[in-house]
Structure 1
Amino acid sequence: MSEIVTMEAAEALPSDVERLIAKTAPQRNAAVDAYRGLVMLLMMGEVLQFAAVARSYPDSLFWHVLAYNQTHVEWAGMGLHDMIQPSFTFLVGVALPYSINSRLSKGKSFGKLLLHTLWRSLVLIALGIFLRSTHSAQTNFTFEDTLTQIGLGYTFAFLLAFCKSKSQWAALATILFGYWLAWALYPAPGPGFNYAAVGVPLGWHHNFSGFASHWNKNSNLGQAVDVWFLNLFPREAAFRYNGGGYLTLSFIPTLGTMLLGLQAGEWLRSDAPKIPMKRFLIAGTLLIIAGLLLHLTGICPVVKRIWTPSWTLFSGGICFYFLAAFSWVVEVKSQRRWAFPLVVVGMNSIAAYLIAHLWEDFIVENLHINLGYGVFRLFGPGLEPLMLGIAVMSIYWLVLYWMYRRKIFLRI
């Protein structure tokens, strides 16, 4: 399913960060690794349970802000947690030009690259289904999670990477407009639509009215496709709706996010060793403005859960800002020492993803068995979830650091 890649790494202490990074990854972009590391830490950081702490301190704005940004918004809008999946997807696109160039330089033919890409896509889809099935009585065929969404679009992004920049932008525009048009032409739910039948509770205040209602929860084109598509697979019970409103069809605009990352990666390679800061900032600003205009005019709301075209633009703009910020600090200002903990995680993102999804219950159970509960209540019962989460996060990072020091990098 995957391979262990050995890279030359220096046996150095964290104090020798600049020498370590330079020798470990001479052809890697440390800013990209640090950005990816932040994304993975945000995902792994769910164990910190800010929402549980906020409930213990109902009058604390600090904890409520942290809790808000560690959960997905219910429908329209964005919190920091909502940027995990688009950032991960965007960075897959950023890495594509480097990956293709590396393999071509080793004499790999286009055919071999394509076969490897198809294999990688299948593995990502299979891995996503496997992780979604870990607590199920049978295989849970679902295609809306991060890995399967990337896997479904990855081969298309690979093929477009061999096209000229103008063709890539044209493909992005075609994908987003075509997807928007298909949803706009699909019948909107009428005033008598039975939302309760598709898992939308009575009094839910996030549905749109008018033209924007084409993008209401579980009453849209993507929902109709999933009711047909997901019931083609063996299931414990017939699929009726996804409780969070997530959709298989979202892989199409998700591909758009990957293409934005592909463009950023090509700018990084073509301008190297300079950082195309101006391009990043201009692209980010224009994309955010475009996404907001579509949302505010009601043409296409910004909704992450169904990955609307306006969300692709809006979140893509924020990804460009993140990449610009990390590039400026890490590459332009050469402030790499602080980025070391992020780089450790970012260079082993697949391992981090698996650890976060498979190890949490095991680690928590063993911490309680061996240390008891009292040690996590030293600062009061309200902070117990946070202290437990810090212990779990520390173990996650130490495992990844151990892998880093021993030159073990998991790749698909």
Structure 2
Amino acid sequence: MSQSLPTSRLSSADVYRGFVMFLMMAEVLSFDKVSEALPESSFWKILAFHQSHVSWIGCSLHDLIQPSFSFLVGVVLPYSVANRLQQEGSFSKTFGHVLWRSLKLILLGIFLRSQWRNQTNFTFEDTLTQIGLGYSFLFLLNFRSQKIQITALIIILLGYWLAFAVYPLPDSSFDYSSVGVDKDWPHLLKGFAAHWNKNSNFAAHFDQCFLNLFPRENPFVFNGGGYVTLSFIPTLGTMILGLLAGNILKSTTTANQKLRTFIVLGIAGLALGSLINSLGICPNVKRIWTPTWVIFSGGWCFLLMAFFYWTIDVLEKRNYAYFLLVIGTNSIAAYIIAHTVDSYIAKSLFIHLGKDYAMIFGLPYKTLVQGTLILLFEWLILRWMYQKKIFIKV
């Protein structure tokens, strides 16, 4: 825990991080339940779609939370490393700190995924765990040239693609229900794209071997959402994109040049990712973090970074972003709060306001009213921490 923020922080990165963390915290608004109560409303259907993950191929706003968070780890790394080297005075001490931080991120992710379980849930697909698994490698790449960083990115994407592409497909008699997938599931892929099917791919097979090395209540067979441990490898690719962006921001080029670079890279990422997906070379799947997803989501990250850099750092509209800044400067605290105290706040509201307090606007909006109050209380906790200069660091 720290009592102050480093002076050389990138405000646009803090606000961007605050934006994506707010999207995560805002799950308590439960737009899906409002949409179910108002089935004829296209407005609530759209909001519900963008507050949930797509089933397999595609992208919603909610799907951009994790890549944005990972991307921003790379963006701020050149700044944080410079500060750490100034404090520690040596590479070895700084690298030791990085290794310790990586371990803490992994363990914190496992801890949060183990809540309300009978024993430790050794799973490694949590956002914090995924970042922790790749963070040390990202740190080492920070000291290499841009050419080497880009080469590493290409090797990661091609290697991860190849591992899936050469892994044998299940035979025609394979029972997909044995891995939690209905044979009539509309998102089941055919042909070459079937190498990236849910729970019958290379990374899913790895987890069936790897995760059963840990003590478990029951043997691991499949992940219900199709998430995999090995997605930390292409997640490192997303962090490398952020590292490239961070080095651009630290460069001596003008603000307009940086902005143009981000916009060009963003549009190129969206176009290339869409093309690779449409040609059937590799589907755009967030849940297993396909190379196409790295490129496509990376495009969105560059465009969002361009927007926040222009409005916050260039136009200096920081005062308008205070709400997000409070969240973004204490993102670990926000992550923990969103995963731990929302149920406690909900119970407290029922105790002190009565069981029908959320019915003020009618039954369809009950969960929205409750979620809004929970979100408000969580933000007030973060604002108190911000005012007291209490910042949780890992």
2:196 pairs with 208, 215, 222, which one?
215
**Distance in 2 between residues matched to 1:406 and 1:337, nearest whole Å:** 19
| Residue number in structure 1 paired with 2:78 | 97
**TM-score, reference length from structure 1:** 0.93
2:64 pairs with 83, 104, 124, which one?
83
Contact 2:88 2:94 in 1 (8 A): no
User: What amino acid is the match of 2:50?
Assistant: N
1:261 pairs with 242, 257, 270, which one?
242
Report the 3-state secondary structure (helix = DSSP H, G, I; strand = E; otherwise coil) of the residue aligned with 1:75: coil
Report the 3-state secondary structure (helix = DSSP H, G, I; strand = E; otherwise coil) of the residue aligned with 2:320: coil
| Residue number in structure 1 paired with 2:335 | 353
Report the 3-state secondary structure (helix = DSSP H, G, I; strand = E; otherwise coil) of the residue aligned with 1:189: coil
Q: Does 1:155 align with 2:129?
A: no
1:309 pairs with 288, 291, 294, which one?
291
Q: Does 1:391 align with 2:385?
A: no
**Distance in 1 between residues matched to 2:109 and 2:69, nearest whole Å:** 14
1:292 pairs with 235, 251, 274, which one?
274
| Residue number in structure 2 paired with 1:7 | 4
Contact 1:94 1:266 in 2 (8 A): yes
1:334-349 to 2 correspondences below 5 Å: 334-349=316-331
**Distance in 2 between residues matched to 1:73 and 1:317, nearest whole Å:** 18
| Residue number in structure 1 paired with 2:46 | 65
Range that drifts further, 336-345 or 105-114: 105-114
| Residue number in structure 2 paired with 1:121 | 102
User: What amino acid is the match of 2:184?
Assistant: G
- Residue identity over aligned pairs, in percent, reads 53
1:91-240 to 2 correspondences below 5 Å: 91-240=72-221
User: What amino acid is the match of 2:360?
Assistant: L
* Structure 1 gap ranges (5+): 9-24
Report the 3-state secondary structure (helix = DSSP H, G, I; strand = E; otherwise coil) of the residue aligned with 1:271: coil
Q: Does 1:52 align with 2:33?
A: yes
Range that drifts further, 95-104 or 299-308: 95-104
Range that drifts further, 188-197 or 122-131: 188-197
1:206-248 CA-to-partner distances (Å, cap 9, x unmatched) read 0111111000000000011000000000000000000000000
Contact 2:350 2:357 in 1 (8 A): no
User: What amino acid is the match of 1:245?
Assistant: G
Report the 3-state secondary structure (helix = DSSP H, G, I; strand = E; otherwise coil) of the residue aligned with 1:258: helix
1:273 Cα deviation from its structure 2 partner: 7.2
User: What amino acid is the match of 1:328?
Assistant: W
**Distance in 1 between residues matched to 2:125 and 2:215, nearest whole Å:** 17
**Distance in 2 between residues matched to 1:148 and 1:176, nearest whole Å:** 20
1:51 Cα deviation from its structure 2 partner: 0.2
Distance 1:61 1:271, change over 3 A: farther
| Residue number in structure 1 paired with 2:383 | 401
Report the 3-state secondary structure (helix = DSSP H, G, I; strand = E; otherwise coil) of the residue aligned with 2:222: coil
User: What amino acid is the match of 1:343?
Assistant: L
**TM-score, reference length from structure 2:** 0.98
**Distance in 1 between residues matched to 2:250 and 2:103, nearest whole Å:** 28
Report the 3-state secondary structure (helix = DSSP H, G, I; strand = E; otherwise coil) of the residue aligned with 1:410: coil
1:169 Cα deviation from its structure 2 partner: 0.2
Distance 1:193 1:271, change over 3 A: farther
Q: Does 1:320 align with 2:320?
A: no
1:135 Cα deviation from its structure 2 partner: 1.2
Contact 2:10 2:76 in 1 (8 A): no
1:374 pairs with 325, 350, 356, which one?
356
| Residue number in structure 2 paired with 1:15 | none
1:372 Cα deviation from its structure 2 partner: 1.1
1:189 Cα deviation from its structure 2 partner: 2.6
1:149-189 CA-to-partner distances (Å, cap 9, x unmatched) read 00100100011111000000000000100110111110123
RMSD: 1.2
Distance 1:123 1:107, change over 3 A: closer
Q: Does 1:247 align with 2:228?
A: yes
**Distance in 1 between residues matched to 2:354 and 2:392, nearest whole Å:** 33
Range that drifts further, 103-112 or 354-363: 103-112
1:26 Cα deviation from its structure 2 partner: 4.1
**Distance in 2 between residues matched to 1:265 and 1:381, nearest whole Å:** 47
1:40-84 CA-to-partner distances (Å, cap 9, x unmatched) read 110000000000000110000110000000000000000000001
**Distance in 1 between residues matched to 2:252 and 2:369, nearest whole Å:** 44
